[in-house]
Every structure is written in structure tokens, then in C-alpha cells.
Amino acid sequence: MAAKAFKALILGPPGGGKGTLSKRLVRDFGFCHFSAGDALRAEIAAGSAIGNKAKDYIGRGALVPDELVTDLVLGQLENLKNEPRWLLDGFPRHAAQAVALDAKHDVDLVLDLDIPEAEILSRLGGRRVHVASGRSYHVEWNPPKREGIDDETGEPLVIRPDDTEEAIKKRLQHRT
């Protein structure tokens, strides 16, 4: 039996738990998950034209321009046109992005996570990532077995440039 078509968005501030909740929704409801942030990081790793443009912004802890993110996300959603159930994580962030998405796709459900700024600063300030895999740790709540080292590969963990307090506050100010 085919799954009922269902398109959903999960929105919220950076570090608000979108990725964690998305994993559970994928597991429990069979969504195909697409993260705008993960897609940007993948484009950067691949050295694509979009990735090279985004790399400069992210490296400075700045927001990637709406138009660039919109082009990336809408292009990637075309690849999911045969998926009956998808969950879009972290997009749209602004009204112009929402209008562009609405022109191309009908959305059935929007989850918007409301997390206090102090909590976001705590979550992101303690986040450490394994760049190659995207695995994420937290120094207090989900520490690696060895400090600063990925559990699976033994490679170093890093603090993302956009996880500094200054960059986090800037990202929170620009969220609508």
C-alpha cells in the first residue's frame, strides 16, 4: 500500500532541536528528510558553485543570502517530487522564502519550535561536530567518549564557525 502524500516543515532557531526531532519523525512516520543546512554543508564539501558562494558566508558566521538558499532548496525538492512524504528542516526562514516554497509545493503541516535564546546559546555553545559525517556531540549532554574526538573515526571534532556566541546571536536576530 502506498504511503499517503504528506509534506511537512519543521522550523525553529538554530540549535532548537529541528534535527533531533526530524530523526524521530523519519523513524516513526517514514518521512524523507531534507535539511537546508545539511544541503548547504554538502554543497560546500562538494565544491559546487553554490557551495563556494555559501562557504564564505558560513565561514564568517554570516547568514547565506535568501536567494542562494531558496535556489538550493527548491532545486533539491525537485529531486523529491516522487517522494510521497517529505519533511523539510530549517526552511523557509523568511517570508520571501515561504512565498517561493508556496508557489511550488503544497505543505500539509508546519511545526515551529519556540526555544528561549539562553537555551540556544547553551546548546550551540557546547556543540562539537565531526565534519565528514555530520555527527554532532555536546560537551555536557552528549559528550564523545574521548574529549574532542569522534567516537567512530577517532578524528577531531570541531566547533562550527556559526556556533560562536556572536554568530549565534546574529543568526537569531535575522530569524523571522
pLDDT tens by residue, 21-60 = 998 999 999 999 998 888 887 888 899 999 998 888 877 7
Residue 158 belongs to some domain of the structure? yes
CB 39 within 8 A of CB 64: no
Tell me whether residue 24 is one of the annotated catalytic residues. Answer: no
Is 135 one of the annotated active-site residues of the chain? Answer: no
* pLDDT, tens digit (0-9, with 9 covering 90-100), for 70-110: 999 998 898 888 888 999 998 998 889 999 999 999 999 99
- Confidence at residue 61, expressed as pLDDT on a 0 to 100 scale: 67
**pTM value > 0.85:** no
Beta strands in the chain (DSSP E): 6-11, 32-35, 85-89, 109-112, 127-129, 136-138
Is residue 167 pLDDT above 90, yes or no? Answer: no
How far from 168 is each of 7, 40, 43, 146, CA to CA, in Å?
A: 29, 17, 22, 26
Total domain count, the chain? 1
> Tell me, what's the pLDDT at 82?
87
**Phi and psi of 169, rounded to 5°?**
-60, -40
Q: Could you say which of 18, 55, 85, 123 is catalytic?
A: 18
Q: Select which of 55, 85, 127, 128 is catalytic.
A: 127
Give yes or no for residue 176 having a pLDDT over 70: no
Which pLDDT belongs to residue 144? 97
Q: Which of 55, 85, 128, 171 is catalytic?
A: 171
At residue 19, the pLDDT reads 84
Name the percent of the chain lying above pLDDT 70: 96
Q: Which of 7, 41, 85, 93 is catalytic?
A: 93
92 sits in the region (left: phi over 0; alpha: psi -120 to 50; else beta) called beta
Q: Does the pLDDT at position 1 exceed 50?
A: no
Decide if 171 is catalytic: yes
127 has catalytic annotation: yes
Which CATH number covers residue 148? 3.40.50.300
Is residue 1, in this structure, part of any structural domain at all? no
- Please check whether residue 54 is in contact with residue 65, taking contact to mean a CB–CB distance below 8 angstroms: no
Considering only 1-10, 92-101, 167-176, which range has the smallest mean pLDDT? 167-176
Give the range of the structural domain holding residue 129, as residue numbers without chain letter: 6-173
Cis peptide before 92 (omega within 30 of 0): yes
Task: Say which of 55, 123, 128, 160 is annotated catalytic.
Answer: 160
Residue 150 has pLDDT above 60, yes or no: yes
**123 catalytic, yes or no?**
no
Average model confidence (pLDDT) across the chain? 88
pLDDT for the residue 93: 84
For residue 12, report the phi and psi dihedrals to the nearest 5 degrees: 155, 175
> 120 with 158: CB under 8 angstroms?
no
